[in-house]
Structure formats: C-alpha cells, structure tokens
Amino acid sequence: MISRQEVEHVARLARLRFEEDELTRLQPELGRIIDYVRQLAELDLSGLEPTSHAVPLKNVLRADEPVPGLSQEEATGNGPDVERGQFVVPRIA
Amino acid sequence: MSAGPADPGRARGAGVGGGAGRDGWEAVIGLEIHVQLSTRTKMFCGCEVTFGEPPNTHVCPVCLGHPGVLPVTNEKAVEYATRIALALDCRIAKRTIFHRKNYFYPDLPKAYQISQYDLPLGVGGHLDVERDDGSILRVGITRVHLEEDAGKLVHAGGASGRIDGADYSLVDFNRGGTPLVEIVSEPDISTPDEARACVMQLRNLVEQLGVSDVNMEEGSLRCDANVSVRRPGDPFGTKTELKNMNSFRFLQRGLEAEIERQIAALESGERIVQETVHFDPATGTVSTLRSKEEAHDYRYFPEPDLPPIELADAFVERVRASLPELPAARKERLMAQYGLSSKEAGLLAANKPLGDYFEGLAAAAGDVRTSANWVLGDFSAHLNAAGLEVAQSPVTVDRLAELLGLVSRGTLSGKMAKEVFEAMAGTGKPAGEIVAEKGLGQISDAGELEAIVVRLVAANPGPAEEFRRGRERVLGFFVGQVMKETRGQANPQLVNELLRRHLGGPGG
C-alpha cells in the first residue's frame, strides 16, 4: 500500500498540488493501481536480463553533419510570451 | 488540483574564513566535470553547435522537445566520449544505454535530460595529478558518460540579474542538446589545491584529445564538486554539492568557502544538510540553492527512443590507436629520450604546445640541455609576462634555433643572447637583424682579433715577459686590454687561445 507521504512526494515531483480530500481519495486509488501491476512480481524472472528496449535494434547512429533546423520565428512562434527571440518563463522560485 | 510552484530554495549566506583544512578537520572532495564536445552538431539532432549566436536560431523540433520527434545519436559524440574514457584508463562498456533523468526546469524543454545511468560508457579509470610540490595524487575516475546539455536562462528584471531578484526569465535553446561528457571522480581529493590541480590536468588531457575547447569561462568545461568534512579516521560526513565554478580561481575559492562553512557549522553543533550550494564570487560566500532531497529524485528509466549502443572491440581499439601521446606517457618519454628531470618533463608534458616547441627546438638546435633551459626559462617567462600562448609568440621555434645557433657558433655570448631574445620577443624581429642593428655579436674573426693581440703584446713587453716567466695571472691583464679595445665583444675563448700563442707559454 502506498503511504500518504509517498503520494504527496510523487505529487510534488510532478508539480501537482492537491487538496486534502483529493489526497484522501488518491491514496487508495493509486494503491489499487500499484497492486494490480504488482502481479508481474509473481513471475519467476530469475536468470533473465532486465529488458531496456522492446525492439531488437542497436547502434542507430547519425553522421555528425548539420541539417537545417527552424528559424527563430518558427521556433518561438508557439510560445505564449516571447521577448527578443527568447521564450519568457515565470520567475523561477 | 493545480500546477504548483517548485519548492523555494532556502537562500542562506555563509561567511568565509581563511584557508581550508582547519585544525583537526579534513575535507573529502569528489569532482563532477562536464565537458562540452566540439562536434559540429548536437547530441541527438542535426542542429549546429554554436556559441554566441542570436537566441533560438540553432534549434529544431528534437532539441525543443516537441511531441512525436525521435532523437538519433551523433556517432562522433560516441567516438569523442570513448576517446576521453580511454585516455582516463576506463573500461569501455560492451553495451551502453541512455536513460531519462526526469526533472522540471525551464531550460529543459522535454522535462527530462537524456543521460546515462547504470550502464555508462566508461567506468573504473584514473588520472594521475601532480600536486604543487611535485608529488602525484592518483584520482579514481568512477565513470564517464554521455548526455545532452540544457538551454540557457537569462534572468530578467530585478536589480542583480541573479535568479533570486528576477521578475522573469528568458530561455534560449541554442545550447540545448549540445553533447556533454560527464566525468565523475572518486572522493580522492582532500584540498582545494588538489582539486584545482586535478581539473587543470583533466583540462590539459581533454585538450590534447582534440574533443573539446575546454574553456571554463565560456562554459565548455564546467566543474561541480561534492564536498564534506570529517575528523580524520571518521566515516564520511554529509556532503553538499557545490555548483558551477567557472574558473580555476573560483573553484579553489568556492571549495575553501564551503569547507570553512561546514567546519564552522559542525563546530557550533549544527548538522550539514545534503543540498546544493552556490558560490558567489562577488561576495566570496556560499549559499544554498534548493533542497537536494527533492532535486535528486530523478526517476531514471531507460530511454525507449534510443536503441542500445554496443561498441565493437575493433572500434574501441581503433579509437585507442588514434589517441595522441598522453601527458603521462610523454613525460616518461621526455625523461628517457632527452634526459630531462621529472619536473622539467612534467612541465613540458602538461602543456602540449610547449612540449612540441621544446622537441622542435631540440631537433633544430641540436642541443637538448640548452633547448630545455631556454624553453622552460626565458621563453616561458616571456609567455607568462606577455600573457601569450605558445603559438602567439613571435619567437617561433626556427627563430629561437637561429639565436641558439649564434651562441653555439660563438657570435653571441650567453648574456648577449638573453638581450637579443628580449628584443626578439618585444619587436618580433629575427635574431640576425637585432644583432646587426645593435652592433652586437662577438668578434670571432680570428684574423681581426689576432691583429689586436699582436699589437697589444708588442706594446706591453713588461707584462709579456712576466707571463713567459710563469706569472699566469698576467694573462687576465691582456684579456682585459683586448676586451677594452673590442668593447667587450671579443670571443673570450678565442682571445685566450690567441694570447697564449703570441705570448708563448711559460718557459716556452
């Protein structure tokens, strides 16, 4: 079972802020999800290498050759606030 | 629910005292060094790596972290990282993979940095560092791994341009995605001096590998340090992470300030909190940035978009064979081949251009001892005084060889040569021209000197007779007379020979 403290910690890492009643609801919900996934732990995986990639590919490399990217206008065009070609972000606390 | 702000970092100033390593305390220091690779393009996309360009002009959907894009690894960056790992005597992983390091910061558009975690490219190396007293400190290298750089933040508004007073920040992603090699050392370092020597040595090494500009001021070499203090013999104390010291001087001063802060805190009964500490060169103080506990929960997981890299033995051996002679090997060779002292060889090996200069001069001038004395003496002093790199000096190898030739042929005395050298360094003119202009140059023309000697012997029959009867020191009188006539420019050895011949030896 996931602890209240763990729920708060994960929320903080995700920059999510919850009200008390939301935390009370989320704790058992998250616990049930974790228990469901935990079924995998019942499998005997001894002697197996951990899988990092599901696709049998390796060494996909690119030559060190420049290719054109975006213009400054294109790059910043979707930014909600732009100043002198740079993205404006709120004050960093 | 709503998005909340990051936990505010606790800013706390701390005074600096004198030097580090106060009575009964020792510091334990490990380094994390980031080297920006000098590839043409970024780590995972084809944008050019640039410096000082207008903001957001070398960016693309990959390095801006747009949805649905695929990173592809730059093969040159893998080769460069392998060079660094091999030069540090690391074991190269047969199979290496990338991980996502998750955290939120506005300079990181994907909200994760592609880095490496438990399968880094290289592990278990070492670097031999020469301390100021010439002794060697072997610093273990825990790991060498590849990752991508973040973008650049400019804090706007407020009074200081610093993060705490800023109203908002501006983000430029030109640097985002630049290939970085992170080098992590073991905590084998005990003083700020050793830390500085270690980073300098590492900089020289990486520079010689030709894989980075290694410029601390421009940020292509960046250094963080993990620092703790303890009573000798005690287990490790709690460490803090001292961030981004962008010059050798700041590295040293930052470490001194942080060590002093920790000792003062412990002595007054406080606990050290594991956190990130920022050195402010303007005030010479350190302050804490943000809670490390939170910041270090990075939830690494394998980067699914980048297939593993398996480095074939043949590739690794090809890279190993392409390495230039490294400082440690060069030092050994300079001692064996030229009979230089450990100190001389160390100085020449640590500075590749200076070492090349010496070897070029020794070959051109033919005299190893004299070449070493000049390169480490007058030539190095001239570079230091003028603030020049070897390649910027007007006194090229060929020109210094010409000067040494004038000395070995007897045209110039050692003392005159120093005078000519200074003029060469100051004016950029070759030695011959300066000798001609100044009317310098020893008279080594036997005919010219012989005429003077004959005349002086004839004019001083008394002293000449005394010499013939065995008063050896009368020779000095005649040498003095010749020097007076030639304004000190006669070749002393030749004068001696000619005088003896014309005076006739004692009893002769």
Per-residue 3-state assignment (H helix, E strand, C coil) for B223-275: EEEEEEEECCCCCCCCCEEEECCCCHHHHHHHHHHHHHHHHHHHHCCCCCCCE
What is the secondary structure of B331-363 as a DSSP string? HHHHHHHH---HHHHHHHHHSHHHHHHHHHHHH
User: What sections of B375-411 are H helices per DSSP?
Assistant: 380-386, 397-408
- Tell me which residue in A57, A64, A65 faces B307 most closely, judged by beta carbons: A57
Taking the Cβ of residue B339 and every Cβ of chain A, the question of whether any pair is shorter than 8 Å is answered with: no
Confirm if B362 and B368 have CB atoms less than 8 A apart. Answer: yes
Asked if residue B435 lies in contact with residue B411, where contact means CB atoms within 8 angstroms, the answer is yes
Query: What phi, psi does B258 have (nearest 5°)?
Result: -70, -40
Residues 6+ positions from A87 with CB-CB distance below 8 Å: A76, A79, A81, B56, B106, B170, B171, B173
Nearest partner of B147 among B178, B111, B187, B106, judged by Cα: B178
Using a CB-CB cut-off of 8 Å, the residues of chain A touching B6 are 15, 92-93
Tokens (6 digits) for B159: 């009074």
**B308 to A93: CB separation less than 8 angstroms, yes or no:** no
Report the SS3 class of residue B34. Answer: strand
B contacts of A83 (beta carbons < 8 Å): 156, 170
CA distance B494 to B51: 61
Q: Counting Cβ atoms within 10 Å, is residue B391 exposed (0-12), middle (13-18) or buried (19+)?
A: exposed
Tens digit of each residue's pLDDT (9 = 90 or more) over A3-41: 999 999 999 889 899 999 999 999 999 999 999 999 999
**B121 Cβ under 8 Å from any chain A Cβ:** no
- Cβ-contact B406, B431 below 8 angstroms: yes
> Using beta carbons and an 8 Å cutoff, which residues of A are at the interface with B?
9, 12-13, 15-19, 22, 52-55, 57-67, 69-72, 75-76, 83-93
Q: What is the ipTM of this complex?
A: 0.92
**Predicted confidence (pLDDT) per residue in B89-148, tens digit:** 999 999 999 999 999 999 999 999 999 999 999 999 999 888 878 788 999 999 999 999
| Coil/strand/helix, residue B59 | strand
Task: Tell me the two tokens of residue B205.
Answer: 């090494």
Which chain B positions have a beta carbon within 8 Å of A61's beta carbon?
72-75, 78, 309
**Domains along chain A?**
4-41 (1.10.20)
Return all residues near B369 (Cβ < 8 A) that are at least 6 apart: none
Q: What is the DSSP string of B281-300?
A: TTTTEEEEEEEHHHHT----
Structure tokens at B123: 């592990």
Q: What is the pLDDT along chain B (508 residues), one digit of tens a residue?
A: 333 333 333 233 333 333 445 678 999 999 999 999 999 999 999 999 999 999 999 999 999 999 999 999 999 999 999 999 999 999 999 999 999 999 999 999 999 999 999 999 999 999 988 887 878 899 999 999 999 999 999 888 765 556 666 789 999 999 999 999 999 999 999 999 999 999 999 998 999 899 999 998 888 999 999 999 999 989 999 999 998 788 888 999 999 999 999 999 999 999 998 888 888 888 888 887 655 445 568 999 999 999 999 999 999 999 999 999 988 889 999 999 999 999 899 889 888 889 999 999 999 988 999 999 999 999 999 998 988 889 999 999 999 999 999 888 777 878 888 989 999 999 989 988 888 777 776 666 677 788 888 888 989 988 988 888 888 888 889 988 888 887 777 777 888 888 888 887 654 4
Q: Which residues of A touch B56 (CB under 8 A)?
A: 72, 75-76, 85-87
Beta carbons of B156 and B169 less than 8 angstroms apart: yes
Q: Where are the beta strands (DSSP E) in B51-135?
A: 73-74, 91-92, 95-96, 99-102, 112-115, 122-130
Is B210 within 8 Å of chain A by CB? no
* Nearest by Cα to B192 from B126, B250, B238, B150: B250
* All residues at 6 or more sequence positions from B459 whose CB lies less than 8 Å from its CB, including other chains: none
* Torsion of the alpha carbons at B204, B206, B211 and B217, rounded to the nearest 10: -60
Report the candidate in B215, B216, B237 with the shortest Cα–Cα distance to residue B228.
B237
- For chain B, the straight-line distance linking the first and the last C-alpha, in angstroms and rounded, comes to 116
B336 touches chain A (CB under 8 A): no
Say whether residue B64 is in contact with chain A using an 8 A CB cutoff: yes
Q: CB burial class (10 A; 0-12, 13-18, 19+) of residue B421?
A: buried
pLDDT tens sequence across B37-62:
999 999 999 999 999 999 999 999 99
Domains and CATH numbers, chain B: 8-318 (no CATH), 325-438 (no CATH), 446-503 (1.10.10.410)
Cβ–Cβ contacts within 10 Å for residue B296, how many? 12
Chain A residue with minimal CA distance to B161? A91
